[in-house]
Amino acid sequence: MSGQGEFALIARHFAPLTKGVPLAFGLTDDAAMLKPRKGQALVVTADAIVEGVHYLPDDPPETIARKLLRVNLSDLAAKGATPRAYLLTAAFPRDVKEPWIAAFARGLKQDQAHFGVHLLGGDTVATPGPATFSLTAIGEVPGARMLRRSGARPGDLVCVSGTIGDGGFGLAELRQPHPDLTDAQRRFLIARYRIPQPRTRLGPSLLGLASAALDVSDGLIQDLGHIARQSGVGLSIDAAAVPLSPAGLAIARGDPPARLRALSAGDDYEIAFTVPKARLKAMEAAAAKARIRVSVIGRVMKGQGVTVLGPDGTPFEAGPGGFDHFGR
């Protein structure tokens, strides 16, 4: 973008996102400061999104920015953390136009207000390659009670928030619209792909209830495999119990394998977690208070890996599923 200096762009579009955070120093210094509140520990996570990999080149810049922030807030939510602030590194293509950057910043501003977070700092560069954005999100948990992947035990129940498969279905809609969907269903699925819904109200309420948790970003089966591996257990999942949205069900009615594809689709950003049976009712009460649907989809057992049970109750080979940046 000719004629526009890096520091002028930062001052115009990103410094205003630090309003109300004096220790960000208006993005005029090399670093910012963040003080944990009394009795709280900081939780830090980072995710990047790349044009053509995590979003389509013609996606609106506002939704790209919102997805970037939300996928990181989803990680915090799955750790039981309440979000506070974030750092942003933006690598814009050299030919980017300033209105595109302005729209990107507006998307961040909109979601900052919604989730109660602020920009602390970061870096802005130009790149000859595709646009690439990396965001580091910072949250808090009481003491050191962060939910981890490694706490599941045999006998625990496997649960998931919201509905599964919508992100993958939404991406498919952008590429080839499904003939059996209404316009409203199509818009819903596309919105689920472009603008995830991090479960920031549910996550902190799972502290002391869930035994293990993570967010579903690369596909339900693949991500549950992380819990199985880190906890040293096996997970048995009932495919019929995995919740689909009305739009997802509309697709599955005419295409039964779509239900299985939903198990390996990425971009859902729901929370998958395990909970001891004795804490089930307390967990359900917490989910109801957070106004988030939670479904029991399986159980933890001795063994290893993830087993998926078909409609007749017998295991079937679902494959590893999920997205792998370096898979072949």
Q: Are 63 and 85 in contact (CB under 8 A)?
A: no
Q: Which amino acid is at 158?
A: V
Q: From CA 91, how far away is CA 134, in angstroms rounded?
A: 9
Confidence band for 320, pLDDT divided at 50, 70 and 90: low
Amino acid 46: pLDDT: 97
For 238-255, the pLDDT digits (tens) are: 999 999 999 999 999 989
**CATH architecture of the domain covering 6-142:** 2-Layer Sandwich (3.30)
Amino acid 4: pLDDT: 60
Q: From CA 219, how far away is CA 265, in angstroms rounded?
A: 5
Amino acid 311: pLDDT: 73
157-316 — its CATH code?
Answer: 3.90.650.10
The mean pLDDT of 30-58, rounded to a whole number, is 93
Amino acid 207: pLDDT: 97
More confident residue, 140 or 318: 140
For 260-291, the pLDDT digits (tens) are: 899 998 899 999 999 999 999 999 999 999 99
Token duo for residue 47: 């995710």
Amino acid 65: pLDDT: 98
Query: Can you name the residues that pair with 295 across neighbouring β-strands?
Result: 160
Map out the domains of the chain as residue ranges. 6-142, 157-316
**Residue for token pair 């799972």:** 206
Q: Are 86 and 115 in contact (CB under 8 A)?
A: no
Amino acid 36: pLDDT: 87
